[in-house]
Amino acid sequence: MRLILMGPPGAGKGTQGELLEKKLGISTISTGLMLRTAIKEQTEVGKLAEQYINDGKLVPDDVIVAIVKERLSQPDCEKGFILDGFPRTTAQAEALDAAGVTIDKVLLLEVDDSKIVERLSSRRECSKCGTPYNIISKKPEKEGICDNCGGELICRKDDVPETIQNRLNVYHEQTEPIKEFYQAKGILAVAQGEEELADTTANVAKALGLGV
């Protein structure tokens, strides 16, 4: 399965990606997580991306396309992959096509903007492995500590109210139009992501035709 997860920030792409990764036995590629790791390590890409991310803007297409192409060429992607957070512009979707990468399904997680603002303020992320949490709806077993690796849970720098609004605007203006691109290919599936985690997980399984 070569899958794209689409949806506004905080729709649950990271969480559903994590669940699908376990269920399908394929890797999740999160461009946001790759960029945050690059920033932590202060690589050239990290230095370039930092201001864009902190402002809630998109990193330039050529930079992100190069990162994704390199990652998709790694052996674990031969059996399939889940793209979380890519493509985010029509140019990125076209670049994926032009590189000969065929996609089986694009799953759009739909969540209303008002719910996003509320959700992102309670979101946390592991500072080591990037696993997503939410202090209301997806708590770790031990407060502040990642269940997977024992890393410290932190608030993302871009999960602050001003940046959240920018990210939502960017989503509606630049990312949402990709829906039509994939609809025209007949591979778009839509799942509601508004409710509790278990409901969203069931909606995703149904939209993808997987057993719950």
Residues that bind ligand AMP (CB under 6 A): 9, 31-32, 35, 52-53, 56-59, 64, 85-88, 92, 158, 167
Return the half-sphere exposure (C-beta side, CA atoms, 13 A cut-off) of residue 197. 18
Per the annotation, the verdict on 167 as an active-site residue is yes
Smallest gap from Cβ 86 to ligand AMP, in A, equals 4
Residue of 13, 36, 119, 124 marked active site: 13
* Separation between Cα atoms, residue 21 and residue 18, nearest integer Å: 5
Q: By C-beta, is 34 or 208 nearer to ligand AMP?
A: 34
Residue nearest to ligand AMP (CB): 32
Per the annotation, the verdict on 36 as an active-site residue is no
Residue of 2, 119, 123, 138 marked active site: 123
Q: By C-beta, is 12 or 188 nearer to ligand AMP?
A: 12
* Separation between Cα atoms, residue 199 and residue 186, nearest integer Å: 25
Residue of 119, 124, 138, 156 marked active site: 156
Give the three-class secondary structure for 67.
Answer: helix
Per the annotation, the verdict on 40 as an active-site residue is no
The residue among 28, 107, 29 whose CA lies nearest residue 64 is 29
Smallest gap from Cβ 100 to ligand AMP, in A, equals 19
Alpha-carbon torsion angle 210, 149, 146, 163, nearest 10: -80
Query: Which residue reads 């140019």 in tokens?
Result: 91
Residue of 2, 88, 119, 124 marked active site: 88
User: Counting every residue, how long is the chain?
Assistant: 212
Measured in whole angstroms, how far is the alpha carbon of residue 201 from the centre of its chain? 15
At 203, list the tokens: 């909606």
Smallest gap from Cβ 99 to ligand AMP, in A, equals 14
Per the annotation, the verdict on 124 as an active-site residue is no
Smallest gap from Cβ 82 to ligand AMP, in A, equals 13
Per the annotation, the verdict on 156 as an active-site residue is yes
- Indicate which residues carry an active-site annotation: 13, 88, 123, 156, 167
